[in-house]
Amino acid sequence: MSGDGRHREPEREERSGDQREDGEEVGAHPETAIQRYTLVVNGNLTILYTEDETGMITAHIPEVPGAVSCGSTIEEAREMVLDALQELLAFRAEQSATATVVSRETISFAISA
Give the residue extent of every domain in the chain: 1-42, 44-113
Asked whether the beta carbons of 59 and 68 are under 8 A apart, the reply is yes
What is the reported pLDDT for 71?
98
CATH architecture of 44-113: 2-Layer Sandwich (3.30)
What is the reported pLDDT for 77?
97
d(CA 43, CA 29): 38
d(CA 85, CA 7): 20
CA distances from 97 to 5, 37, 84 (A): 24, 11, 20
The count of other CB atoms within 10 Å of the CB of residue 34 is 13
Tell me: the pLDDT tens digits for 3-59?
Answer: 445 444 444 444 444 454 555 544 444 554 555 555 566 788 999 999 999 999 999
Task: Give the amino acid at 11.
Answer: E
What is the reported pLDDT for 113?
60
Asked whether the beta carbons of 11 and 36 are under 8 A apart, the reply is yes
d(CA 64, CA 89): 9
Asked whether the beta carbons of 65 and 85 are under 8 A apart, the reply is no
- What is the phi/psi pair of residue 78, to 5°? -65, -50
